[in-house]
Structure 1
Amino acid sequence: MRVLVIGIDGATFRLMRPLMQNGYMPFLCEVEQRGALGTLETIYPPVTAPAWSSFMTGKNPGKHGVYEFLHRKRGTLEQIPVNAGMLGSETLWEMMSKAGKRMVVVSVPLCYPPFPVNGTLMSDFLAPKGARDLSYPPELLKEVEDKFGEYLLYHKQVYTKDNVANVLAELEEHTEYRQRVAEYLLKRDPWDFAMVYFEGTDRLQHELWHVIDPTSPMHDAEEAKQFAERTRNYYRVLDNDVRKLVALAQAQDPDTQVILMSDHGFGAIHKFVNFNIWLLREGFLKLKRDIPTQVKHALFNLGFTPSLGYKLSMNFGFANLRLSQGMTNRNQILDWVRRGFLSFRNVDWSRTRAFSSGNYGQIFVNLQGREPYGSVPQSEYQTVVEQIGARLLELRDPKTGAAVVSKVYKQSDVFWGEFIDDAPDVVFSLAENYKALGTLEFASHHVIENAFGNSGDHRMDGFVGMLGTDIKQNVKIENANIMDVTPTILYLMGLPIPSDLDGHVLTAPLRDEFVMSQEMMQGDALGARDQMIPDYTEEESEEVKERLRALGYLG
Structure 2
Amino acid sequence: MPGPASRVVYLGLDGATEAVLRPAFERGWMPNLQALWRRSATGTLWSSEPMVTPVAWTSFLTGCHPPTHGIHEFHYLDPVDRTILPNHAGRIRVPTLWDTLSERGHEIVSLGLPMTYPPPDVRGLVVAGSDAPGLQWAFAQCPDFGEEILRDLPGYSHKVLWKRRPRSIEELRTVSRHNQEVFRAQADAAERADARCDWTAMMVHFHNLDGIQHRLWPYLDLDETAEHQPDWTVEVVNCLRELDRAVGRLLELASRRNAAIIALSDHGFGPCRALVDVNGLLCQAGLQRRLPYGTRISYRMRRLRDRFDRWKRRRTPDGTARRGPRSIEGEVGCDWSKTVAFAPFGQLCGSIFLNPKLVSGSSAASRVIAEIIDTCRAAEDPDTGQPLFADAFDVAERYNLDPAAEGLPDVLAPSTDGYQAMAKWDPFCRSLLRPDPNLPATHRTDGVVAIEAPGILPGTRLDAELPDIAPTSLSLLGLTIPEVMEGRVLEEVQDLSRIQAAAGMSLPHRPAID
TM-score by length of 1: 0.76
Q: Tell me the equivalent position of 2:285.
A: 282
Q: 1:15 corresponds to which residue?
A: 20
Residues 176 and 392 of structure 1: CA distance in aligned 2, closer, same or farther (over 3 Å): same
Matches within 5 A, 1:14-413: 14-129=19-134, 131-132=136-137, 134-149=139-154, 151-156=156-161, 158=163, 159-162=165-168, 163-213=171-221, 215=223, 220-221=227-228, 224-253=229-258, 256-287=259-290, 293-294=291-292, 296=294, 344-349=332-337, 351-355=339-343, 357-366=345-354, 368=356, 373=357, 375-409=359-393, 411=395
List alignment gaps of at least 5 residues for structure 2. Answer: 1-5, 301-313, 316-320, 322-327, 503-514
Q: Is the 8 A contact 1:409 1:427 kept in 2?
A: yes
Structure 2 vs 1, CA of residues 29 and 414 (structure 1 numbering), >3 Å: closer, same or farther?
Answer: farther
Deviations 1:213-252 (A, max 9, x none): 46465x543xx22111331242233223212212222223
Distance 1:76 1:220 in 2: 48
Describe the SS at the equivalent of 2:359: coil
What CA distance in whole angstroms lies between the structure 2 residues aligned with 1:377 and 1:442? 32
Q: For residue 476 of structure 2, what is the aligned residue in structure 1?
A: 492
Q: Secondary structure at the match of 1:161?
A: coil
Q: Deviation at 1:5?
A: 1.0
Q: What secondary structure is seen at the aligned counterpart in 2 of 1:6?
A: strand
Q: Using a 3 Å threshold, how does the CA distance of structure 1 residues 90 and 190 change in structure 2: closer, same or farther? A: same
Q: Which amino acid aligns with 2:332?
A: F
For 1:46 and 1:204, the matched residues in 2 are separated by 18
Between 10-19 and 228-237, the greater mean CA deviation after superposition: 228-237
The Cα of 1:22 is off from its aligned counterpart by: 2.0
- Mapped to 2, the partners of 1:198 and 1:507 lie a distance apart of 28
Could you give the per-residue CA deviations for residues 298-355 of structure 1, whole angstroms, max 9, x where no partner exists?
Answer: 9xxxxxx9xxxxxxxxxxxxxxxxxxxxx89xx9xxxxxx99xx96243325641454
**What CA distance in whole angstroms lies between the structure 2 residues aligned with 1:122 and 1:494?**
26
Compute the displacement of 1:90 (Å): 1.3
**Match among 421, 427, 431 for residue 446 of structure 1:** 431
Aligned 8 A contact 2:456 2:497 in 1: no
Q: What's the offset of the Cα at 1:135?
A: 4.1
Separation (CA, whole Å) in 1 of partners of 2:93 and 2:428: 32
Between stretches 143-152 and 193-202, larger displacement belongs to 143-152
- Cα deviation, 1:239-277, whole Å, max 9, x if unaligned, reads 232122122222233xx2110011111111121110101
State the distance in 2 between where 1:122 and 1:276 align. 37
CA–CA separation in structure 1 for the residues paired with 2:207 and 2:160: 10
Decide whether aligned partners of structure 1 residues 400 and 476 sit closer, same or farther in structure 2, where only a CA change above 3 A counts: closer
Return the alpha-carbon distance in structure 1 between the equivalents of residues 12 and 118 of structure 2.
20
Residue in structure 2 matching 1:509, options 470, 482, 493? 493
Write the distance in 1 (CA, Å) between the matches of 2:423 and 2:443.
14
Q: Which runs of 5+ in 1 are unaligned?
A: 288-292, 299-304, 306-326, 332-337, 519-555
1:117 maps to a residue whose letter is V
State the distance in 2 between where 1:196 and 1:132 align.
Answer: 18
Q: CA RMSD in A?
A: 3.1
Rate the CA distance shift 1:75–1:152 in 2: closer, same or farther, 3 A: same
Deviations 1:360-407 (A, max 9, x none): 242424164xxxx35242123333222222222322323444433344
Deviation at 1:130, TM superposition (A): 6.2
Query: What is the alpha-carbon distance in structure 1 between the residues aligned to residue 285 and residue 72 of structure 2?
Result: 26
Q: Tell me what 2:413 maps to.
A: 428
Q: How far off its partner does 1:198 sit?
A: 0.9
Change (3 A) 1:137 1:489: same
Deviation string, structure 1 residues 488-525 (Cα, Å, up to 9, x no partner) = 1111112221112221111112342507989xxxxxxx
Distance in structure 2 (CA, Å) of the matches to 1:430 and 1:172: 32
Q: 1:295 to 1:486 in 2, by over 3 A?
A: closer
Alpha-carbon offset, residue 428 of structure 1: 3.1
Given the superposition, is the C-alpha separation of residues 401 and 459 from structure 1 closer, same or farther in structure 2, using an over 3 Å criterion?
closer
Q: CA deviation at 1:440?
A: 4.6
Decide which moves more: 357-366 or 203-212: 357-366
Q: Quote the Cα distance in structure 1 between the aligned partners of 2:497 and 2:108.
A: 27
Query: After superposition, what is the alpha-carbon deviation per residue over 1:86-127, rounded to whole angstroms, capped at 9, x for unaligned?
Result: 222211111111001122111211222223321122222212
SS of aligned partner of 2:113: coil
Length, aligned pairs only: 468
Change (3 A) 1:398 1:112: same
TM-score when normalising by structure 2: 0.82
User: In 1, are the aligned partners of 2:74 and 2:86 still within 8 Å (CA)?
Assistant: yes
Q: Is the 8 A contact 2:54 2:71 kept in 1?
A: yes
Work out which of the residue numbers 462, 470, 484 in structure 1 matches 2:447.
462
Counterpart amino acid of 2:243?
A: L
How far apart are the structure 2 equivalents of 1:385 and 1:515? 52
**SS in structure 1 of the partner of residue 270 of structure 2:** strand
Seen in structure 2, the aligned counterparts of structure 1 residues 93 and 281 have a Cα distance that, compared at 3 Å, is same
CA distance in 2, matches of 1:413, 1:375: 17
CA contact (8 A) 1:123 1:134 kept: yes
Supply the distance in 2 between the matched residues of 1:471 and 1:413 (Cα, whole angstroms).
Answer: 41
Write the distance in 1 (CA, Å) between the matches of 2:499 and 2:396. Answer: 33
Q: Secondary structure at the match of 2:199?
A: coil
Amino acid at match of 2:83: E
CA contact (8 A) 1:206 1:455 kept: yes
